Amino acid sequence: MRIIAGTLKGRRIESPDWEGLRPTSDRLRETLFNVLAPHVDGARFLDGFAGTGAVGIEALSRGASHVTFVEHDTRAIRLLEGNLARAGVKDRYAIIRTGFAQAFRGAVTPSLDIIFLDPPYGRASLESALDAAAPLTTDGTLLVIEHARRDEAPAERVTLRRVRVLTSGDSALGFYRRLEST
């Protein structure tokens, strides 16, 4: 895997050598960032279920002002730290070492422009990730969740409304905005 565009274009990202971690493919990342392009420069970006960190590092490469990575697997955290070092990223990021649902409980909610989530595939994981992320959104936040194509992203969940779906192979991206206040 490589960084697709931006200041870190072409830098290599290591993949896991164990089962259970499914990195976002280069093709799907390219699709994602084609949509996000007008919103990334200067954005505060959250890469939830970060794994290799490829999505967050791509955001940094394309001008995000800060990326928060959330990951609980110690092997993935080591891989993420190695990928940041290989890419030459020394600042503008933080790593939260816990499960996504626990990451912001009781903490001051960070101000985020873009939230990207890549939970384990399955309807239950998809819904619980959206539930945990909903309180992190504001009226301007764009939330994107990667999921299996076979597991349709809900049209509405908690305070979120799906505004777009893109598919690529067996994967899909669901784009969400906060429901308008009534």
**Which pLDDT band, with edges at 50, 70 and 90, does 107 fall under?**
confident
Cα distance between residue 131 and residue 108, in whole Å? 17
> What is the residue extent of each domain of the chain?
26-178
Stretch 35-54: mean pLDDT, rounded? 96
Instruction: Name which of 58, 105, 98 is nearest 77 in CA terms.
Output: 98
Is residue 106 pLDDT above 80, yes or no?
A: no
- Specify the DSSP class assigned to residue 90: -
Give whole-number Cα distances, 77 to 21, 52, 100, 162, in Å: 12, 8, 13, 30
Q: What is the C-alpha separation between 21 and 64, in angstroms, rounded?
A: 25
14-18, 78-82, 101-105, 143-147 — which is least confidently predicted?
A: 14-18
The verdict on pTM exceeding 0.85 is yes
- Which of 128, 180, 118, 115 lies closest to 154 in space, CA to CA? 128
Q: Has residue 182 got a pLDDT over 50?
A: no
> Average pLDDT in the 110-138 region?
93
d(CA 62, CA 177) in angstroms, rounded, equals: 22
Per-residue pLDDT averaged across 90-112, rounded? 89
| pLDDT, mean of residues 100-106 | 88
pLDDT one-digit tens code per residue, 156-179:
999 999 999 999 989 999 999 998
The pLDDT of residue 161: 97
Q: How confident is the model at residue 181 (pLDDT cuts 50, 70, 90)?
A: low
The CATH class that applies to domain 26-178 reads: alpha beta
d(CA 137, CA 111): 8
**Chain centroid offset of residue 165 CA:** 15
Q: Which two tokens stand for residue 82?
A: 């190695």
- Report in angstroms the alpha-carbon separations of 16 from 1, 61, 119, 120: 11, 21, 16, 15
- The helix (run of H) or strand (run of E) holding residue 31 is helix 26-40
**C-beta of residue 23 within 8 angstroms of C-beta of residue 16:** yes
Alpha carbon distance 131, 156 (integer Å): 11
For 67-95, what is each residue's pLDDT tens digit? 999 999 999 999 999 999 999 999 999 99
